[in-house]
Structure 1
Amino acid sequence: MARKKGRDISGWLVVDKPAGLTSTAVVNKVRWAFGAKKAGHAGTLDPQATGVLAVALGEATKTVPFVTDALKCYVFAVRLGVATTTDDAEGEVIETSSTRPSDEAIRAALDAFRGEIMQVPPQFSAVKVEGERAYALARAGEEMELASRPLWVESLEMTARPDADVVELEMVCGKGGYVRSIARDLGRALGCFGHVTWLRREWSGPFEAADGVTVEEIEELAKTEALDDLLLPLEVGLAELPELRATAEGAARLRNGNPGMVLASDVDWGDEAWASHEGRAVAVGVYKSGELHPSRVFNL
């Protein structure tokens, strides 16, 4: 099998994704600009959404699950009184209502969307149904009974009410949340329907939109050292896990996929953690009796 051509470069690039591009298109752009062998992202954004899209290159792709599992912050607007097929402004209108709830009613309704909730994904989503993507089936005119799934909502607050038809919200949630489902279900709870009109991810785990690079900057700096300088270390993607310091011998064993000795710390037996040596990540694994048992090893 032919090997992929490209540079062995590892790290994270925080992109401030513009509206109109898919997450995959942004990842492909980043991979081209760095000439990298391998790239991936930590959490899809809808094409019309903007904000943090954290792109991992090379060995950093092994840390993607830890960023995906981290909390994320979204700010968005809900248009009240209208339901659409896609639960956003791109879809066709399917129901309308002249009811407009008060600010107090909206704040009261938000209580039901905090904590551990059950959420049904939008019909137009990447959820798989018998091997097919839901959005593909929805485009073909099929209606599906999608299973509800748990979502942790750390916080959900109303931040503005520009007019009677629009409410702006901020949500901090865990992995797998659909903002469009929040808008749909909130509208139903208020008896007036609703859909998302705009959406922005402000931060995702350790990455913030304020630090993001634009697609235009990526294109302008492509194939240059100036772009390389914007790359964040692989280790940033491990911010949610405790760090253990490996001994020289332990690091050598870990790099070969074997349990390696790490210096004492306050982690408990069975905790997931990562080991470093001389400032660089060596492996992620489970801590047991003074050793890290690796599940992922970094070839840096």
Structure 2
Amino acid sequence: MEFRKLGESDLEVSVITFGAWAAGGWMWGGTERSESVKAIRACYEEGVTSIDTAPIYGQGLSEEIVGEAIKGIPRDKVQILTKYGMRWDLKKGDFGFKSENNQGEAINVYKYAGKDSIIKECEDSLRRLGTDYIDLYQIHWPDITTPISESMEAVQRLIEQGKVRYAGVCNYDEVQMAEAMKAPGLVSNQVPYSMVNRGIEEVVIPFALANKRSIIAYSPLERGLLTGKIKPGHTFAAGDHRADLKYYQAANIVLVNAFLESIKPIAEDKGVSLGQLVLRWTVDKPGITIALAGARNAEQAVQNARAVNVKISVDEMAFINERLDELKLV
């Protein structure tokens, strides 16, 4: 496994980090807890020491699964990245959206990152994770009802108390990032990035590079689309959010699969899967520090972890990028 430091901190994380959204089942059509635990442990055996989760993933379930999976592993051998600022149990802040929990019950999700809420959320996360500190504590989404300075001040207090090591943000643009950077301890911005979703290349990545902050890329496989396993007519389980995403509309699935066929010979020549090639491409892109890769079972987790062993030459990278430039989704 390869490791990289977040920002200018001493926090080293695995280049492929386990993304535990799907493990929580929420918006993914449910989950099998034991399979998720096995996936995290299998990933760890392959050298993946970093796990990214959040309270909203399964309304606490994902964090509980992570806590179960790391039980028995020396705490300093794993890095726990979790989040705050999305409440389903409190009607306060910026209303986000309506959803359902894993039991099919209606919930309303609010983006709220007030000081007292953050302190409470941290205690709840520590309990679910079964640990006494969080390596990277990230605001999940911008909260327009709370000053960024208030949220960062709360996390700074947690850092001083030893409950959090470093602060991060998610889904921030460069203006929000600049405001958040006024507080010490901020090392990263977690944002969506994939071969078919490259908008952050224009401003967000250059800003992070100029200010020595890390970019954590989430959904690098575009929620499974870039593995090549999603075909036209694919049926999603009830509650799976992907059915409504533009990338998963029939015409775009056809276009993406055609692109994947064009780069498949590179993967075949290396004896790796398309997903592994895509993950390696992602972490080789300038400005991308680590990539989050989710898995629903141990086999997927091991495949993702082994993507770090793939080597892409300059010519191969150029070919892939040329094919990407030709890809125009509808």
TM-score, normalised to structure 1's length? 0.25
| Greater strand proportion | 1
TM-score (norm 2): 0.24
Larger helix proportion of the pair: 2
